[in-house]
């Protein structure tokens, strides 16, 4: 029994799909953010997997960058969500559509 | 990753991660979703550790498990009344969601199972090589990311500080 | 050529002790001050720098009794180790650093003592001492750091403290602005400094690395030699100096051209930009006069005695580099002489006593740069030291006057203070004599040596060599003598003009900048209108010590001409020996030197005589008549000089307005162009959506039922592209991405 690239890819594909599903179906903006985190994690897993099973450390370096970007994104997005909540008393993303016009 | 114990550990962690992700995707209860996310991220950290990616495992624990999921939990608590937490994550357009899920999952799985098994490179500590790469070949992205972090910091502070629409209500910005 | 290195001398205590003081007061000083009174604040704040002085003296004595050229070294930890960049948090004390550290700790401690008197009524007493201690820490890191990066940490640290202390009374908008101005102007200089460091680092690295044989480095049992082979490049002063011993590396650095300049010249000029910022030289001097908004002890410590001399120290420290580039040296010397003359001329007509001293400081710093620019390193440091004594004494004297006159800074509302404040007046007079260059006072020895070295320099790339620079500096020296004695006579002679109502006074109707009485100082109720009084003993004692040093401090560096030992030059000689062969003299004889000395004495007395004739006892009406002269040229000239040649206004018009204008232009671009573009793109998107919907409607009829249903759904989705619902967007993005991947995969397959 051994674990190789296909298994890791499988895991990452499932994470990606579930993350996208979350992003599409949830109304709560914070839940959408959680979906984004899942998608990002799927990508990071791929980077690390290819770094381990390919050659070179670059994948993991990019993984570190990815984590940093995710952190920055989460902070700003949550600040926006809080602000939206303050303004509309709701975090229902399907109602935050005033920028439509 | 060969051998029974690592393989079993992998599948255990993969199960934890997938279960967590499914919890995020399916639960209608925000706090449950948040804790599911926590479990999924934790499982990912375990998988990194199994992959001998020590720095990534630690970073995952510190930033994701320790930082982002706590932040998300805070956001959940701050944006919903305690009484409403059970019902404030309504699902919406599940058909579209399912469409996306399948559209992504089927090609991705198709690709995944065509991958060669791959040969794992020797399990050396990765912290030092990553550090060298960050301050060597990747020094420009490194610096750019630091600027990005600063911008995110300032932006988040600025956003969270909020603004008031009524001009009479902001004495601090008058008088210049 | 190798200097013995004494490792593990506990140098770290010198900066650490003031840092502890800053920590003590900065973290809980507000509480101790309220609970136990001011003594709990100022005792640690004075004793810790004093202890630091003791350690510095200890190090000085070790150097004194050691071999010439001994270097004390104290390595704390490896800070950066990313080959080839290697920097330690390490302190070194050679003879140059020892002089600097002694001046900083000693004068610093004295000014702390003085501040216990000057600041005693300020509610933020603890904050003041915390900042002051923090400043000492940063300054000591600057002078003791053994590499450029650590020096830069101190460099930024003193800039920060300077900012904090200038805007110490931050409730006053003008003072807060002065602090910001200092910070921003320094930032420009610091940018040059960092660029210089980077360029030097990479300039050295491009040279092929050659191992230097360790054979010529002797090591005795108690002296650990530097035995490891030299790195290809370095930021450590000692290692850069050793690298440049190698002629091939030196040549590469000199011959390599960047932008038409030799690399070494470019590095030196960039470092000098940093020095002009910190040391207030043309064109970045504008912050220093405004920095007088800070409390007077701060002006004395930071903006006269120590921080502003950091640029001179930098140039002297990098002497092995500057001496490789006659072009850069000429620029340094010319800027120095120009600043000396320019600032002295502005000082002639100022009314604010602190402004006079500020311009005088800028001018004296110009003298120092003139000295280091002609390669007379030790003379620059010598003047730095004597200037620290007399200028600190002058500033503290002016502080004593300002305190005595209830926070009045305009000299036209002073006068006659000699009888009321005898100690302050005497010390101020002695220091004035020193700065004017009266024979046998400290300023005479250092300034005269600068003039002579400038005159005799053979390094300059100027037509006429140093004679031109000498002429400028000599005129500046005359001006110095004049305006300093003018300030003395205006302040201390005649009768007191400040009593009574502050509004109806000599200055009404004049174009003066009226200084509002300080809102934060002494609670002045019941004081106002009363006669000035002598300051407490904590202040006068410090004045006396500094005045004594201002008188005798020059005796360590007697001119060669008198055939007496010049202790100071001998002391610093080992530090500068590697660049000594590259500094040449023009070979003027002793006769010239005697003549120049006579001229400079004559200039000092001339300025003194003129000031005495015009301003003694405020009897001569000529100054007033000059300011209101019917001749518009005379009046105009007076106005232009009084308004500092309108340089601030010019900077405001060019740099400040320019930046504002640029930002407005960007805002306009954003609103007019980018926003419109976005609107157009949105409109096109909507149009496409509408077309999609229309096609949808058109095709549904003729299609099979199920297909029609799907297309209908797709059409609805297309129309909802601009629904503003992020889920819809996510869905679109995901499906689009998948489609892309699938298509790419199929194509590749």
Contacts of B129 in chain A (CB under 8 A): 57
Contact at CB, C734 and A20, closer than 8 angstroms: yes
CA end-to-end span of chain A: 57
Q: What is the DSSP letter of C719?
A: H
Tell me which chain A residue has its CA closest to the CA of residue B25: A22
Q: Widest CA span of chain A, in angstroms?
A: 57
pLDDT, one tens digit per residue, over C562-571 is 777 788 888 8
Q: How many CB atoms lie within 10 A of CB C420?
A: 17
| Closest CA–CA distance from residue B120 to any residue of chain A (Å) | 5
Q: How many CB atoms lie within 10 A of CB C390?
A: 32
**DSSP conformation letters of C350-414:** --BHHHHHHHHHHHHHHHHHHHHHTT-HHHHHHHHHHHHHHHHHHHHHHHHHHHHTTS--BGGG-
H helix or E strand, kind and range, residue C648:
helix C647-651
| Closest CA–CA distance from residue C731 to any residue of chain B (Å) | 7
Minimum mean pLDDT among B64-73, B161-170, C536-545: which range? B161-170
Cβ neighbors of C643 (< 8 A, separation 6 or more) are: C649
Helices (H), A1-101: 5-25, 29-53, 58-88
Query: How many helical (H) and strand (E) elements, i.e. helices and strands, does chain C have?
Result: 30, 5
Contacts of B44 in chain A (CB under 8 A): 41, 44-45
Cβ neighbors of C149 (< 8 A, separation 6 or more) are: C79, C80, C87, C197, C235
Contact at CB, A23 and C725, closer than 8 angstroms: no
Tell me which chain C residue has its CA closest to the CA of residue B98: C731
Beta bridge partners of C80: C87
Distance CA A78, CA A34 (A): 11
Q: Residue range C28-32: average pLDDT? A: 86
pLDDT-based confidence at C156, cuts 50/70/90? very high
Contact at CB, B97 and A14, closer than 8 angstroms: no
Distance CA C452, CA C590 (A): 11
B125 touches chain A (CB under 8 A): no
Tell me which chain A residue has its CA closest to the CA of residue C731: A24
Please give the share of chain B, as a percent, with pLDDT higher than 70.
84
Cβ neighbors of C89 (< 8 A, separation 6 or more) are: C75, C76, C77, C78, C79, C150
Distance CA C730, CA A25 (A): 10
Minimum mean pLDDT among B156-165, C188-197, C339-348, C486-495: which range? B156-165
Contacts of A81 in chain B (CB under 8 A): 75, 79
Do the beta carbons of residue C521 and residue C169 sit within 8 Å? no
B129 touches chain A (CB under 8 A): yes
pLDDT, one tens digit per residue, over C143-152 is 999 999 999 9
Strand order in the sheet with C71-82: C5-7, C71-82, C85-93
Q: How far is CA B122 from CA A52, A83, B119, C667, in A?
A: 9, 48, 9, 54
* Spatial CA neighbour of C438 closest among C565, C556, C597, C548: C597
Domain A5-88, architecture per CATH: Orthogonal Bundle (1.10)
Minimum mean pLDDT among C284-293, C351-360, C676-685: which range? C676-685
Tell me which chain C residue has its CA closest to the CA of residue B93: C727
Contacts of A2 in chain B (CB under 8 A): 1-3, 7, 117
Mutate to test the interface with C, among A24, A34, A94 (most CBs of C within 10 A): A24
| Closest CA–CA distance from residue A80 to any residue of chain C (Å) | 14
Minimum mean pLDDT among C83-97, C477-491, C506-520: which range? C506-520
Three-state SS at C529: coil
Q: How many CB atoms lie within 10 A of CB C416?
A: 21
Contact at CB, A32 and C726, closer than 8 angstroms: yes
Distance CA B104, CA B94 (A): 15
pLDDT, one tens digit per residue, over B31-84 is 888 899 999 999 999 999 998 888 999 999 998 888 888 888 888 887 765 555
Minimum mean pLDDT among B121-130, C243-252, C639-648: which range? C639-648
Distance CA A9, CA A80 (A): 33
B87-107 burial, b if ≥16 CB within 10 A, otherwise e? ebbebbbeebbebbbebbbeb
pLDDT, one tens digit per residue, over C613-643 is 888 777 777 777 766 777 777 777 777 777 7
Contacts of A20 in chain C (CB under 8 A): 730, 734
Q: Is the pLDDT of residue C290 over 50?
A: yes
| Closest CA–CA distance from residue A79 to any residue of chain B (Å) | 5
Q: Is the pLDDT of residue C740 over 60?
A: yes
pLDDT reported for residue C68? 83
pLDDT-based confidence at C481, cuts 50/70/90? very high
Q: Is the pLDDT of residue C18 over 90?
A: yes
Distance CA C704, CA C707 (A): 5
Tell me which chain C residue has its CA closest to the CA of residue B91: C727
H helix or E strand, kind and range, residue C80:
strand C71-82
Q: Residue range C599-618: average pLDDT? A: 86
B85 touches chain A (CB under 8 A): no
Q: Is C670 exposed, middle or buried (0-12, 13-18, 19+ CB in 10 A)?
A: exposed
* Spatial CA neighbour of C286 closest among C13, C651, C720: C651
Q: Is the pLDDT of residue C104 over 90?
A: yes
Q: Compute the mean pLDDT over every residue in chain C, rounded to the nearest whole number.
A: 82
Do the beta carbons of residue C385 and residue C367 sit within 8 Å? no
Contacts of B107 in chain C (CB under 8 A): 738, 741-742, 745
Strand-pair category, C5-7 with C71-82: parallel
pLDDT-based confidence at C222, cuts 50/70/90? very low
pLDDT reported for residue A100? 43
pLDDT-based confidence at B164, cuts 50/70/90? low
Distance CA C408, CA C397 (A): 13
Contacts of A61 in chain B (CB under 8 A): 130, 133-134, 138
C730 touches chain A (CB under 8 A): yes
Three-state SS at A28: strand
Contact at CB, A24 and C730, closer than 8 angstroms: yes
C731 touches chain A (CB under 8 A): yes
pLDDT reported for residue C704? 53
Q: Is the pLDDT of residue C171 over 90?
A: no
Query: Where do the structural domains in chain A lie, given as residue ranges?
Result: 5-88
Q: Which of the two residues, C212 and C203, has the higher pLDDT score?
A: C203
pLDDT reported for residue B32? 86
Contacts of C730 in chain B (CB under 8 A): 100
Q: How many CB pairs under 8 A join A and C?
A: 30
**DSSP conformation letters of C266-324:** HHHHHHHHHHHHHTT-TTSTTHHHHGGGS-HHHHHIIIIISGGGHHHHHHHHTHHHHTT
Q: Is the pLDDT of residue C198 over 80?
A: yes
Contacts of B103 in chain C (CB under 8 A): 734-735, 738
Contact at CB, A60 and B105, closer than 8 angstroms: no
Angle at the Cα of C271 from the Cα atoms of C153 and C1, rounded to 5 degrees: 90
Do the beta carbons of residue C321 and residue C244 sit within 8 Å? yes
> Which token pair is C747?
């194509």
Contact at CB, B93 and C82, closer than 8 angstroms: no
Q: Which of the two residues, C728 and C397, has the higher pLDDT score?
A: C397
Tell me which chain A residue has its CA closest to the CA of residue C734: A20
pLDDT-based confidence at C694, cuts 50/70/90? confident
Q: Which chains touch A (3 or more CB pairs under 8 A)?
A: B, C
Contacts of A5 in chain B (CB under 8 A): 112, 115-118
* Spatial CA neighbour of C392 closest among C306, C320, C334, C454: C306
Angle at the Cα of C551 from the Cα atoms of C546 and C553, rounded to 5 degrees: 80
Residue C647 has phi, psi (to 5 degrees) of -65, -40
Question: Quick check: pTM over 0.80?
Answer: no
pLDDT reported for residue B81? 58
Do the beta carbons of residue B68 and residue B22 sit within 8 Å? no
Beta bridge partners of B91: A26
Q: Which of the two residues, C360 and C228, has the higher pLDDT score?
A: C360
Q: Residue range C4-20: average pLDDT? A: 88
Contact at CB, B100 and C741, closer than 8 angstroms: no
Q: Is the pLDDT of residue C539 over 50?
A: yes
Cβ neighbors of C324 (< 8 A, separation 6 or more) are: C244, C250, C253, C254, C264, C268, C582
From the list A10, A12, A17, which residue is nearest B101 (CB)?
A17
Q: How far is CA C226 from CA A11, C94, C242, C628, C645, in A?
A: 56, 15, 11, 68, 53
Beta bridge partners of C737: none
């Amino acid at each position: 029994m051994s674990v190789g690239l296909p298994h890791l890819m499988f895991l990452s594909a499932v994470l990606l799909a579930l993350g996208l599903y979350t992003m599409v179906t949830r109304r709560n903006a914070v839940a959408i953010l959680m979906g984004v985190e899942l998608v990002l994690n799927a990508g990071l897993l791929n980077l690390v997997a290819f770094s381990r099973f390919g050659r070179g450390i670059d994948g993991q370096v990019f993984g570190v960058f990815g984590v940093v970007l995710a952190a920055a994104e989460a902070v700003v997005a949550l600040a926006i969500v809080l602000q939206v909540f303050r303004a509309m008393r709701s975090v229902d993303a399907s109602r935050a559509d005033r920028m439509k016009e | 990753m060969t051998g029974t114990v690592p393989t079993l550990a992998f599948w255990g962690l993969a199960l934890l991660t997938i279960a967590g992700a499914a919890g995020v995707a399916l639960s209608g209860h925000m706090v449950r979703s948040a804790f599911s996310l926590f479990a999924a991220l934790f499982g990912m950290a375990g998988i990194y550790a199994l992959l001998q990616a020590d720095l990534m495992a630690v970073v995952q624990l510190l930033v994701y498990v320790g930082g982002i999921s706590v932040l998300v939990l805070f956001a959940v608590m701050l944006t919903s009344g305690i009484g409403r937490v059970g019902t404030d994550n309504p699902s919406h357009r599940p058909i579209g969601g399912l469409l996306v899920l399948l559209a992504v999952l089927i090609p991705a799985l198709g690709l995944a199972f065509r991958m060669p098994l791959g040969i794992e490179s020797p399990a050396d500590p990765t912290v030092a090589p990553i550090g060298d790469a960050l301050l060597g070949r990747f020094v420009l992205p490194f610096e750019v990311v630091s600027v990005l972090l600063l911008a995110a910091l300032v932006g988040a502070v600025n956003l969270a500080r909020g603004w008031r629409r009524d001009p009479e209500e902001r004495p601090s910005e008058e008088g210049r | 050529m190798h200097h013995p290195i004494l490792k593990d001398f506990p140098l770290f205590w010198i900066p650490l002790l003031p840092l502890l003081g800053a920590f003590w007061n900065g973290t809980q000083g507000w509480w101790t001050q309220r609970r136990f009174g001011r003594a709990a604040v100022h005792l640690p704040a004075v004793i810790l720098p004093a202890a630091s002085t003791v350690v510095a003296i200890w190090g000085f004595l070790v150097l004194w009794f050691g071999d010439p050229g001994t270097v004390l070294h104290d390595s704390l930890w490896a800070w950066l180790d990313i080959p080839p960049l290697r920097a330690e948090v390490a302190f070194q004390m050679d003879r140059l650093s020892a002089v600097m550290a002694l001046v900083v700790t000693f004068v610093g401690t004295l000014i702390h003592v003085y501040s216990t008197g000057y600041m005693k009524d300020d509610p933020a007493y603890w904050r003041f001492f915390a900042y002051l201690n923090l400043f000492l820490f940063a300054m000591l890191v600057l002078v003791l750091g053994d590499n450029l990066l650590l020096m830069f940490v101190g460099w930024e640290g003193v800039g920060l403290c300077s900012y904090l202390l200038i805007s110490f009374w931050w409730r006053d908008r003008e003072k807060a602005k002065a602090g910001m101005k200092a910070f921003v102007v320094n930032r420009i200089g610091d940018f040059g400094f960092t660029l210089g460091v980077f360029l030097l680092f990479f300039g050295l690295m491009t040279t092929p690395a050659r191992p230097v044989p360790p054979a010529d480095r002797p090591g005795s049992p108690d002296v650990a030699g530097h035995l490891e082979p030299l790195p290809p490049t370095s930021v450590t002063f000692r290692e850069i100096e050793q690298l440049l011993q190698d002629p091939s590396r030196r040549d590469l650095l000199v011959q390599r051209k960047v932008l038409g300049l030799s690399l070494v010249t470019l590095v030196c000029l960039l470092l000098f930009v940093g020095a002009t910022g910190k040391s207030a030289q043309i064109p970045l001097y504008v912050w220093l006069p405004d920095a007088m908004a800070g409390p007077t002890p701060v002006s004395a410590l930071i903006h006269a005695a120590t921080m502003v001399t950091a640029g001179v120290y930098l140039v002297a420290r990098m002497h092995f580099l500057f001496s490789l580039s006659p072009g850069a040296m000429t620029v340094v010397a010319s800027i120095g002489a120009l600043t000396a003359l320019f600032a002295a001329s502005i000082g002639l007509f100022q009314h604010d006593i602190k402004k006079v001293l500020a311009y005088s400081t800028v001018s004296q710093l110009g003298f120092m740069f003139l000295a280091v620019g002609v390669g007379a390193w030790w003379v620059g440091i010598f003047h730095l030291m004597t200037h620290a004594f007399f200028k600190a004494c002058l500033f503290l004297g002016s502080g004593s006057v300002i305190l005595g006159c209830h926070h009045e800074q305009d000299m036209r509302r002073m006068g006659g203070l000699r009888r009321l404040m005898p100690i302050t007046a005497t010390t101020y007079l002695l220091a004035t004599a020193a700065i004017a260059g009266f024979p046998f006072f400290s300023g005479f020895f250092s300034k005269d040596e600068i003039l002579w070295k400038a005159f005799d320099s053979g390094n300059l790339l100027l037509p006429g060599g140093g004679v031109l620079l000498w002429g400028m500096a000599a005129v500046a020296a005359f001006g110095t003598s004049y305006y300093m004695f003018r300030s003395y006579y205006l302040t201390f002679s005649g009768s007191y003009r400040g009593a009574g109502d502050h509004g109806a006074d000599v200055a009404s109707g004049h174009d003066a900048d009226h200084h509002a009485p300080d809102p934060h100082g002494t609670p002045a109720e019941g004081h106002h209108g009363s006669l000035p009084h002598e300051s407490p003993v904590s202040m006068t004692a410090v004045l006396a010590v500094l005045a004594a040093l201002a008188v005798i401090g020059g005796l360590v560096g007697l001119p060669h001409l008198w055939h007496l030992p010049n202790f100071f030059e001998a002391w610093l000689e080992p530090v500068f020996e590697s660049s000594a062969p590259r500094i040449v003299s023009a070979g003027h004889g002793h006769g010239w030197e005697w003549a120049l000395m006579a001229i400079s004495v004559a200039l000092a007395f001339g300025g003194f005589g003129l000031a005495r004739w015009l301003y003694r006892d405020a009897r001569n009406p000529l100054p007033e008549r000059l300011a209101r002269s019917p001749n518009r040229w005379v009046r105009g000239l007076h106005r232009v000089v009084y308004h500092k040649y309108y340089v601030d206004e010019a900077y405001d018009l060019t740099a400040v307005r320019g930046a504002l204008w640029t930002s407005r232009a960007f805002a306009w671009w954003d609103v007019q162009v980018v926003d419109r573009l976005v609107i157009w793109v949105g409109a096109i998107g909507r149009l496409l959506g509408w077309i999609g919907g229309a096609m949808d409607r058109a095709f549904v009829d003729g299609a099979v039922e199920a297909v029609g249903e799907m297309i209908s759904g797709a059409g609805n989705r297309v129309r909802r592209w601009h629904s503003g619902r992020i889920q819809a967007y996510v869905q679109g993005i995901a499906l689009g991405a998948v489609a892309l991947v699938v298509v790419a995969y199929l194509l590749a397959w």
